[in-house]
Amino acid sequence: MSDNEYKIALVGPTRVGKTSLISSILAEAQTALAGTPASLKAKGATFARITDNVNEMAGALAHGTFEPEAVRNSTSDVSVYELALEVGKSKLPIRILDYPGGWLSEQGSEWEECEKWINESSVLIVPVDAVLAMQCATLAEEKACRVRLKIAAVTEVVREWAKARKLANAPGTLILVPVKCETYLVAPGATRAIADKLQRRLVDELYEDMFAALAAELGSSDLVSAHYAPVNTIGCVDLVDAGWEMAEDRNLESHPIFRVLPPGKRKVDGALDVLILLARRLASAENAQERGALKNLWRYLTGESRDLRAAIELLNERKLSQRAQPVRMREPA
């Protein structure tokens, strides 16, 4: 990793909607940085991947019903989302690791390089399918939810990341990001009570052991902060049916169907919170003069570098929405 590269890892199962989350962050970055010299851009193959995602999303919303599987998100190989925060020729590369979700539990020979990247990342983003987490009416569906989200495997990845952070005395940020939250946050019938239920379900039930593992590994250290930040990656839909069906592995699988709400245009909401948390980690790294991500960037006193730093500070100073909350990590009694 070069000194002025910002490394992030996504930790989650296949088909959770990682590409849609990245495209949501880019969309909200455009709004947040409007009127400044800075832009957050997709680079190289990531640009094609993101634009395809945006086009497929628009097409999938065009006929009154929406099925997330119509938008390709899964990958069969390791890939890296290449982003850059830029002002003119001055830029900060932001690289986000993605990999097949099945590797979380299989952890074969290819996993070693992924694990190395994860443990070097200053930010872990844990995306969660909100529908899968919330629509569990039976014991079989509850079991399938935990299997499909690979919660035990995610917990162990986070545990090893916390160990690596502590060993290197390197601060970090973990962000639990439920996606496809529209039914529980903004659709007709959504209430504050339902939004609170989503948060409790994820933080206090499904991922309780993950946060407990962080607490156990870090002890009294405050090296790592944890946050809950729900994102509406679609915005204009409401759940019709969770679509539970028996899969080949004899566990249930969810294939949700949504109705499209007028005007039928994608409306991202909440991704700015994730961007703000990323900027806070960047700003914290610079202010503490940490090795890595920003050390070399601030050596160059050009106007462009100052503008780039100003853009990071602008995002850092933005307030999080009421939905985004810090998570208090505590070991089990």
Q: How confident is the model at residue 275 (pLDDT cuts 50, 70, 90)?
A: very high
Give the model confidence (pLDDT) of 184-219 as tens digits: 999 999 999 999 999 999 999 999 999 999 999 998
How far apart CA 231 and CA 130 sit, in angstroms, is 10
pLDDT at res. 306: 84
Rounded percentage of the chain residues whose pLDDT exceeds 70 = 90
Q: How confident is the model at residue 166 (pLDDT cuts 50, 70, 90)?
A: very high
149 and 177 in contact (C-beta within 8 Å)? no
Domains and CATH numbers, the chain: 6-130+150-178+189-232+267-326 (3.40.50.300)
Q: How confident is the model at residue 101 (pLDDT cuts 50, 70, 90)?
A: confident
Q: Up-side HSE of residue 168: CA atoms within 13 Å toward CB?
A: 17
Q: Is the pLDDT of residue 106 over 90?
A: no
pLDDT at res. 284: 81
* DSSP 8-state symbol, 270: S
pLDDT at res. 293: 46
Q: Which two tokens stand for residue 297?
A: 């960037």
210 and 151 in contact (C-beta within 8 Å)? yes
Q: Is the pLDDT of residue 36 over 60?
A: yes
Give the model confidence (pLDDT) of 280-320 as tens digits: 998 887 665 554 445 555 554 467 888 888 899 999 999 99
**Residue 253: strand, helix, or coil:** strand
Report the mean per-residue pLDDT for the chain.
Answer: 89
